[in-house]
Amino acid sequence: MLSFKLNNGTEIPSIGFGTWAIPDSDEAVGAVRTAIECGFRHIDTASRYENETSVGQAIATCGVERSQLWITSKAWPDECGYDNLLRAFDASMRRLGLDYLDLYLIHWPAPQYSNWQQRNVDTWRAMEKLYADDRVRAIGVSNFLEHHMQPLLDSCRIKPMVDQLEIHPGYAQQPTVDFCQLNGIAVEAWSPFGRGIVFKNDTLVQISQKYGKSVAQICIRWCLQKGIVPLPKSVTPDRIKNNLEVFDFELSPADMQTIDQMPCFGWSGQHPDEVEL
């Protein structure tokens, strides 16, 4: 597993295992354990996913030392604000059964809330406290566009290290990616398969056949070559394993450009300024 370096010098595994929509259950425990057995060392969850308990059980029983794993969770908007965030973090830690996190994120910028900019600034102060207290190795945000990020950058003591965004072929979010990378903020890609819609795209199918790889592997490789950390999700052991088999080939500049320029498709419809939270 290769890694990317964050702006605080910490190294994050270059591919993460996403757990959204895998409910708290034996299935979730099994999926995370299978991912770790296949070589994943980066697991992404959130309080909103309601599966932190299962993720924690998988971590506790996987046979891999905690220090070798990178665990991410996120705070939902109703958990934000200075005091709320600190309580939410403690609750996530209890469910996960951990004494520290590798990465903690503000899940959405939530401009639907009144005085949202100040609310996010207050939340970020709590994130900085968690970081200063060595309770988390890195802090960041999720679904923040440039106009959500700028108030934090204008007021923070510690710059966000990560922004997790919906990114996949057909929804590259290039302006926000450029903004983040210009400011030394690493980008992660949730839904890198566009909720499965990418698998039926003729252009991606043709590119996958050219390399003898699956469309999923093409999407993951595309992210990696853009310096983005993809977070693929699957509960099928063979697919989980295949999602890591992307380090033995490289997409050509022409194919990268073709994917970059694909028209919009597969978008979830969840715009940070409009999504119902």
- Residues annotated as catalytic are 49
Q: Are 219 and 204 in contact (CB under 8 A)?
A: yes
Strand partners, 139: 104
| Rounded distance between C-alpha atoms, residue 267 and residue 191, angstroms | 9
Please give the C-alpha separations between residue 157 and each of 6, 83, 121, 131, in angstroms, as whole numbers: 16, 18, 11, 11
Strand partners, 103: 72
Please give the C-alpha separations between residue 47 and each of 3, 85, 269, in angstroms, as whole numbers: 25, 12, 22
Beta-strand relationship, 162-166 and 139-142: parallel
Q: Are 227 and 256 in contact (CB under 8 A)?
A: no
| Rounded distance between C-alpha atoms, residue 172 and residue 267, angstroms | 10
Closest CA to 207 of 174, 242, 169, 167: 169
Reported as type and span, the H/E element at residue 53 is helix 52-61
